[in-house]
Each structure stands twice: as structure tokens, then as C-alpha cells.
A and B are shown apart, each in its own frame.
Chain A
Amino acid sequence: MRLFFHELKGEQLLYWRSREAAFFTFIFPLLLYVLVSAFYTGDIYGQPAGRVLLAGLLGYGAATTSFAGIAIFLVIRRENGVLKRLRATPLPPAMYIAALLGSTLLVFAIEAAAMIGLARVTYHVGVPDRLGSLALSLLLGAAAFAALGIAMAAAIRSAEGASAVVNLVVLPMAFLSGSFGPTRHFPHVLRAIADVLPLTYLVRLVRSAIVFDQPIWHEPGAIGVVAGWGLVGLVLAVWAFRWEPSESG
């Protein structure tokens, strides 16, 4: 346990020191919330826009902090040799991954709290009643995206391209899944794609807790899809994980 907290502390230091990561995965979702909420005033499909968008941006936050953040960190560390170097230390690999996940969840928890606070101050969105279900939904989403992020890291070969590749996945997914606003007017094809994306279902779960005040088990299908994606991510992550830098040239 001492080792876990030591590494968690190290991961926290590394996270907040990396200004790019801290900006894109922590500040950016908060900034986007303010932006989209200023754009959509009033109602979205009969529900207060501030609430609907809070649910959307919390989902986006989980995807960007957990999926993008972990994928980018792992690629950079693998390519500059730190992961390989860590393998020669007594830090157990599972402990390392656990601390990285723990650190990411901690960052996301702070971000979610900040966003809920921001929604309250700027758009008078009350603190959700279903806090337990909200927390569980976000934890499930963040865990699933973390597994997918570890899997994604294996597919990226260079540290330079990591940020671009990951955002190429996250941003369109966020648009299609309704994180940034209503999608019912989107073309049929795009909505069909959205129907298989994990973020669509995470946003649905979060919306159920925040907008409709429903407990988490009210949406078993959505839980299943998010968890299913998480499992696929986990299997791919275990199968494809690499400690050593990609061969150059």
C-alpha cells in the first residue's frame, strides 16, 4: 500500500507538471461547458440546457481525462524509454498501472466536482440529487475509457503523433454522442455510428442521473454497452501492451 501511495503521489506530480495534459484533459472540458452552455440557452428537447450539457460534458470529461490522458501518457512514456526502465525496478507492473488509473480517477473526480460547481454558479443547475448513481456512472465510464486508453496506446507508434491521433478519436465521438449538444437533427448515418459508441451510452447514463433523477439501474442497457466496451478495451490492452519503444525506421 505504501508503494501504491508513493507512486500515486508521483503520478499526481507528473500530471499537474505536464501543462499540456492538465490543460487538455482538465481545463478544456470545463471551458467547453461554459462555451456550449452560452450557445444553447433555454431548453434542449424539453429539458433545461444547463443540465443536459452538464451531463454531456461530464461524459466528455471522462473520455478525455481517462481515455485520451492515459493513452497519451503511456505512449510518451513508452517511447522515451521510461516504461522499459520501470520494468527493471521493483515496482510491480500491476501496481504501476493501478497508480496511473488511481491518479487519473482522482483528477477526473476533481474535474467533475469543479464542473458541477461551475454549473451551479453560472447556470444555476442544482447539485444532482442522485449523486451516488452519478458517481457510479462516471466511475464505470472512466474505468471503461481507461481500459480503452491503454489499448489505444498500443496502437500509436510515436509520441509526437499521440495527442493528434487520440483527439481525432475523442472529438468526433464527443460530437456524435451528444456531449456538446442535441444530435437528433444529425444525418441518419452519423446517428447510426453514434449508436455504437461508448460515450453515447455513458452520456445517457449520466443524463439519467442528472436530468431525470433516475437511479443507475434504470438504464441497464447503457451500463451493459459501457461495460462491454470496457471489457473489449481490457482484453486488447492486456493483449497488445508494450513496455518498450517502437522500433524506429
Chain B
Amino acid sequence: MTSAVSIEALTKSYGKLEAVRGISFEIGSGEVFGLLGPNGAGKTTTVEILEGYRKRDGGTVRVLGEDPERAGTEWRQRIGVVLQSSAVYTTLTVREMLALFAGYYRKPRPVDEVIELVGLMEKRNTRIKSLSGGQARRLDLGLALVGDPELIFLDEPTTGFDPGARRAAWATIRALRSLGKTILLTTHYLEEAEQLSDRVAVLREGRIVAHGRPADLMGRSRGAEIRYLRDGEEVVVKTDEPTRTLHELTAQALDAGVELEGLEVRRPTLEDVYLSLTEQDDETVLS
């Protein structure tokens, strides 16, 4: 697997604030990589270093074989960018804006195809200032795709979307993946990372605290939770051996002739793992 992005011991500080404290990861060509973490964890700083906006303090960075700090317009032909906030000319129509950006690239995708792909067909002749926030965000995605890049950076592409719009954006991102594009996605929505990413890295305070396939991350945490009601109060039993514990519990209940109201066995979700990893005071998880 050739890597589209590789980062080794990357560091970046703003004055006294150490935003990124030595992170390393690789993104394979054609992979969707999710960078997860709460606000201020260093996601955007990392992505903006990869996009060539910021100079790093230390470490090595390679994006499509080049150092983004020195990369030129040829390199920019091959990347697509969705910034954290929408950046568009509000007086143009959707189609005019995409056509303007398409002209910057040597081999752009046909503008109407891009409009279709991001689901703005009905709005193609609408002035951008009258788009909704979600529609403007889809236009941002379209602008990132119009140059037909190999590598696409999506910095919180669906923040502020309603659930329907989010699912539509996911479908678009999956379509890009099936075209063989490499995608770096930052998000603080776990479900999004879980749905879209081949691998994720969880950032916390400028460090990677977990790294792997979403399923592996979930598998990392021990055991399961068994919940039921006793005299109207919820009882939670945490166990590494759910089969045995459940058997014992139900056996006791049968002997006593009582019903375990609201009985539920739950595997931890990625959300539980994420919360335990990003919890500020939970030092044990770090080690």
C-alpha cells in the first residue's frame, strides 16, 4: 500500500499552547481516514499543516510525496480542500462559482456532474447568498471535488447538518471512496467516523490516544454492561465475561421467581470508547 499522507512526530505550538504534541500516522492511497477528537484537540491544526497552510515546528510530513510547506501549484492540482467554515463568493450562482474554480485546474470534472454529485441540481442557478447553511456546505464539497483531486481534506464537512443532509453527504463521500479517492476526514461525530472511515485516530490534547479500525477500537474495551431494574432502580453490572455473568444473574432470578425488568446486555459503542479516551480527568486510559 503506497501512502498518500505520512506524518512522523509532528509538533506545532502557538505561543505557549502546544496544539500538536508529536503525532504520527499514515494514510494509504484510496483510504478514508477519520481524525476524531473534541474541539481544541489539534485536528484542524494537523489538517492545515497537511494542506500547506501552517508551518510545522517539528517532525516530517509527506503529502502525495511532497512537503506541503514547499509544494507548488502542481501539487495543488492533486488535492481538494473543504475548510472548517464555508468560503464562497455569495454574489455568484452555484454553477458560476463551480465553473470559476473548475478553470483553475488542468483536468476538472464537468461542472454539472459535480453539481449532481453534491445534490445541488435544483439550486444550480441560485445565488449562493440564498442557499441554506447545509447547501453552502455541499457547495464547499463540490468546490473540493471540481478539480478531480486524488486526495481530499474534509474538515468537519457536516457540522450543522440535519440528519437527512448528513446521510446524503455520507453517500457522496462513499461515492468518492469508490472512485479510489483518498480522504482525510475530521469530525467530532463518532457515528460519522464509524460509518465512513477505514481507520480512525482519536486525538486528545495534541496527542493520538487511539488508532485503528473502528471495530478494533470497540473491541479494545473490555467486556459488556448488563442493565436491569430492581425495585424500579437501574442496576448496571460491568463484566468481562458477559455470558457467565448473565447466566448467574438469570439463574438467581429464576430461583427467586422474579422477573429481571428491563434486562439489557450492551457492548460498548465507539462512543463509549471515545468518551473514555477523551475524558479530561480519566488518566488511566492514557497509559
Q: Which residues of B, 54-90, contact A by the 8 Å Cβ criterion?
A: 73-74, 76-77, 79, 81, 83, 85-90
Within 8 Å CB of B53, what residues of A? 84, 87-88, 244
Please determine whether A85 and B83 come into contact, CB atoms closer than 8 angstroms. Answer: yes
Please determine whether A17 and B51 come into contact, CB atoms closer than 8 angstroms. Answer: no
Interface string of A82-112 (1 = CB under 8 A from B): 1011011111100000000000000000000
Distance between Cα atoms of A84 and B48 in the complex (Å):
11
**Chain A residue at smallest Cβ distance from B97:** A10
Distance between Cα atoms of A6 and B105 in the complex (Å):
11
A14 contacts partner chain B, Cβ-Cβ < 8 Å:
yes
Contact size class for A? 20 to 34
Please determine whether A88 and B81 come into contact, CB atoms closer than 8 angstroms. Answer: yes
Distance between A72 CB and nearest chain B CB, rounded to angstroms:
13
Please determine whether A18 and B91 come into contact, CB atoms closer than 8 angstroms. Answer: yes
Interface string of A1-34 (1 = CB under 8 A from B): 0010011001001100110000000000000000
Distance between Cα atoms of A7 and B104 in the complex (Å):
8
Q: Which residues of B, 115-163, contact A by the 8 Å Cβ criterion?
A: 143, 147
Interface string of B89-100 (1 = CB under 8 A from A): 111100010001
Distance between Cα atoms of A89 and B100 in the complex (Å):
11
A42 contacts partner chain B, Cβ-Cβ < 8 Å:
no
Interface string of A51-83 (1 = CB under 8 A from B): 000000000000000000000000001001110
Please determine whether A89 and B101 come into contact, CB atoms closer than 8 angstroms. Answer: yes
**Chain A residue at smallest Cβ distance from B105:** A90
Within 8 Å CB of A77, what residues of B? 89
Instruction: From B74, B90, B104, give the contact of A91 (CB < 8 A).
Output: B104
Distance between Cα atoms of A90 and B75 in the complex (Å):
8
Instruction: From B73, B83, B91, give the contact of A90 (CB < 8 A).
Output: B73
Within 8 Å CB of A10, what residues of B? 100, 103
Q: Given A18-B91, A89-B104, answer yes or no on A13-B96 (Cβ-Cβ < 8 Å).
A: yes
Most buried by B among A10, A17, A90: A90
Instruction: From B74, B79, B92, B147, give the contact of A13 (CB < 8 A).
Output: B92
Q: Given A85-B81, A85-B143, A89-B76, answer yes or no on A3-B88 (Cβ-Cβ < 8 Å).
A: no
Distance between B159 CB and nearest chain A CB, rounded to angstroms:
15
**Chain A residue at smallest Cβ distance from B54:** A244
Please determine whether A14 and B101 come into contact, CB atoms closer than 8 angstroms. Answer: no
Within 8 Å CB of B87, what residues of A? 80-82, 84-85
Distance between A87 CB and nearest chain B CB, rounded to angstroms:
7
Please determine whether A3 and B103 come into contact, CB atoms closer than 8 angstroms. Answer: yes
Within 8 Å CB of A17, what residues of B? 91-92
Distance between A100 CB and nearest chain B CB, rounded to angstroms:
13
B52 contacts partner chain A, Cβ-Cβ < 8 Å:
yes
Closest 4 CB pairs of A and B: A81-B87, A85-B87, A6-B103, A17-B91
Other A-B contacts than A13-B92, A14-B89, A17-B91, 13 sampled, CB-CB below 8 A, are A3-B103, A6-B104, A10-B103, A80-B87, A81-B87, A82-B88, A85-B83, A88-B52, A88-B53, A88-B81, A90-B76, A90-B147, A91-B104
Interface residues of B (CB under 8 A from A): 51-53, 73-74, 76-77, 79, 81, 83, 85-92, 96, 100-101, 103-106, 143, 147
